[in-house]
Chains A and B, each alone.
Chain A
Amino acid sequence: MRIALPTNRLLPPPEPLPLARQYRAALLWVAAAAALLLPVRGWLNTIDVAMVFLLAVVAVAVQSSRGPAIGASILAIVAFDVLFVPPYYRLAVEDGDFLLTFLVMLIVALLMSQLGTRVRAQATEAGLLEQESRIRFELNEDFAAAETPAAVLDLLAARIGALLGSAGRFVAAPAREDGPAHPAWPDDGIFADPEVRMAASLSWQDQSPVGPGTARGAEVGALLLPVSIEGRPEGVLAFAMPAGRIPSARELRLARAMLAQGCDALAKASALEAREQGRLEVAAEQLRTALLSSLSHDLRTPLANIEGAASTLVADDARLSAEVRGELAEGILVESRRMHHLVANLLDMVRVESGTLAVHREWQPLEEALGVAYLRVEERLGDREVTLALPKDLPLVSIDELLVEQVFINLLENAIRHTPAHSPITITAWTEAAEVVVEVADRGPGVPPGASEQVFEKFVRVGSAPPFGTPHGAGLGLTICRGIVTAHGGRIWVEPRPGGGAAFRFTLPLAGSPPRPAREAPE
Chain B
Amino acid sequence: MATTAPVLLIIEDDAETRRFLRATLRAHDFVVVEATTAREGLAQLAGRNPDLVLLDLGLPDAEGMTVVAAVRATHPTPLIVVSARGREQDKVAALDLGADDYLTKPFGVQELLARIRAALRRVAVAPGTLAEPVFQARGVTVDLLRREVRRGSAPIHLTPTEYKLLTALIHQAGRVVTHRQLLRTVWGPNAVEHPHYLRVYMAQLRHKLEWDPTRPRLLTTEPGVGYRLQPGE
Show the binding face of A for B, using Cβ within 8 Å. 336, 340, 344, 347, 362-365, 367-372, 374-375, 388, 390, 392, 396, 401-402, 405, 514-517, 520-523
Contacts and interface: CB of A to CB of B under 8 A. Distances in A.
B126 interface: no
Contacts of B197: 517
30 contacts: A336-B106, A344-B85, A347-B86, A362-B196, A363-B196, A363-B199, A364-B196, A364-B199, A367-B203, A367-B213, A367-B214, A368-B221, A371-B221, A372-B223, A388-B214, A396-B196, A396-B199, A401-B223, A401-B224, A402-B88, A405-B223, A514-B194, A514-B196, A517-B200, A517-B201, A520-B159, A520-B160, A520-B161, A522-B158, A523-B147
Nearest to B105: A340
Contacts of A522: 157-159
A515 B202 contact: no
Interface in B157-214: 157-161, 163, 194-197, 199-203, 207, 212-214
Closest 3 CB pairs of A and B: A363-B196, A522-B157, A388-B214
B223 A365 contact: no
Interface in B218-233: 220-221, 223-224
Contact of B200 (A365, A372, A392): A365
B216 interface: yes
B28 interface: no
A368 B161 contact: no
A515 B86 CA distance: 29
Interface in B77-107: 85-86, 88, 106
A302 to B, nearest CB: 13
Contact of B203 (A368, A375, A520): A368
A340 B161 CA distance: 40
Contacts of A517: 161, 194, 197, 200-201
A365 B205 CA distance: 13
A273 B11 CA distance: 52
B151 to A, nearest CB: 15
Given A362-B199, A363-B199, A396-B196, 5 more contacts: A364-B195, A365-B200, A515-B194, A522-B157, A522-B159
B189 to A, nearest CB: 16
B215 A374 contact: yes
Nearest to B201: A517
Interface residues of B, number: 30
A484 to B, nearest CB: 14
Contacts of B199: 362-365, 368, 396
A523 B165 CA distance: 13
Residue among B158, B215, B216 with most chain A CB within 10 A: B215
Contacts of B86: 347
A352 to B, nearest CB: 13
Contacts of A514: 194, 196
Contacts of A520: 159-161
Nearest to A351: B86
Contacts of B213: 367, 371
B223 A362 contact: no
A367 to B, nearest CB: 5
Given A402-B224, A405-B223, A390 B214 contact: yes
Nearest to B158: A523
Given A365-B200, A520-B159, A371 B194 contact: no
A521 B159 contact: yes
Given A396-B200, A401-B224, A370 B161 contact: no
A523 B157 contact: yes
Nearest to A406: B223
Contacts of A344: 85
Nearest to A363: B196
A362 B157 contact: no
A371 B216 contact: yes
A388 B223 contact: no
A371 B201 contact: no
A367 B194 CA distance: 18
A336 B16 CA distance: 15
B221 to A, nearest CB: 5
Contacts of B161: 517, 520
A377 to B, nearest CB: 12
Contacts of B202: 368
A83 to B, nearest CB: 100
B146 to A, nearest CB: 12
Contacts of B201: 517
A523 B106 contact: no
Contact of A371 (B159, B160, B215): B215
Contacts of A347: 86
Given A362-B196, A368-B199, A388 B106 contact: no
A378 to B, nearest CB: 8
Nearest to B199: A364
Nearest to A388: B214
Residue among A396, A520, A522 with most chain B CB within 10 A: A522
Contacts of B212: 388
